[in-house]
A = this chain, B = another copy of it.
Amino acid sequence: MMMMQRPQLQDVQQAASMLLGHVHRTPMLTSRTLDQLAGNRVACKSEHLQRSGAFKFRGAYHALLRLGEVSRSPRVLTQSSGNHAQALALAGRLLGFEVHVVMPRESPQVKREATASHGAHLYWCDAHPADRLRVLDQVKEKTAATYVAPYDDPHIIAGAGTVALEMLEQDPDLDVLVIPVGGGGLLGGMAMAAKSLKPTIKVYGAEPSGADDAHRSLLAGKPLPMPEPDTIADGLLTSLGEWTWPLIQHYVDHIFTVPDHAIVEAMRLLWGRMKQVVEPSGAVALAVALSHAFKARHAGERIGLVLSGGNVDLGFLAHDKQS
| 10 extra interface residue pairs, beta carbon distance < 8 Å, beyond A108-B323, A264-B317, A316-B316 | A48-B275, A49-B274, A53-B275, A264-B319, A267-B317, A268-B317, A271-B277, A272-B317, A276-B277, A316-B321
Q: What is the minimal beta-carbon distance from A281 to any residue of chain B, in angstroms?
A: 11
Determine the distance from Cα of A145 to Cα of B267 in the docked complex, in whole angstroms.
Answer: 39
Within 8 A of B (CB), among A301-323: 310, 313-314, 316-319, 321-323
Interface size on A, residues (CB 8 A): 32
Contacts A/B (CB < 8 Å), 14 sampled: A49-B274, A53-B273, A53-B275, A232-B319, A232-B322, A261-B319, A264-B317, A264-B319, A267-B317, A268-B317, A271-B277, A272-B277, A272-B317, A313-B323
Determine the distance from Cα of A234 to Cα of B323 in the docked complex, in whole angstroms.
Answer: 8
Judge if A223 is at the interface, Cβ distance under 8 Å: no
Determine the distance from Cα of A271 to Cα of B273 in the docked complex, in whole angstroms.
Answer: 15
Copies of this protein, total: 2
Q: Are A317's CB and B275's CB within 8 A?
A: no
Residues of B within 8 Å of A276, CB to CB, are 275-277
Q: Are B280's CB and A278's CB within 8 A?
A: no
Q: Mark A263-298, 1 if CB is under 8 A from B, else 0.
A: 010011001111111101000000000000000000
Determine the distance from Cα of A144 to Cα of B103 in the docked complex, in whole angstroms.
Answer: 65
Give the B-binding residues of A (Cβ under 8 A): 27, 48-49, 53, 108, 110, 232, 234, 260-261, 264, 267-268, 271-278, 280, 310, 313-314, 316-319, 321-323
Determine the distance from Cα of A6 to Cα of B2 in the docked complex, in whole angstroms.
Answer: 72
Determine the distance from Cα of A271 to Cα of B277 in the docked complex, in whole angstroms.
Answer: 6
Tell me the nearest residue of chain B to A260, going by C-beta: B319
Which residue from B267, B314, B322 sits with its C-beta under 8 Å from A280?
A: B322
Determine the distance from Cα of A276 to Cα of B274 in the docked complex, in whole angstroms.
Answer: 9
Tell me the nearest residue of chain B to A273, going by C-beta: B53
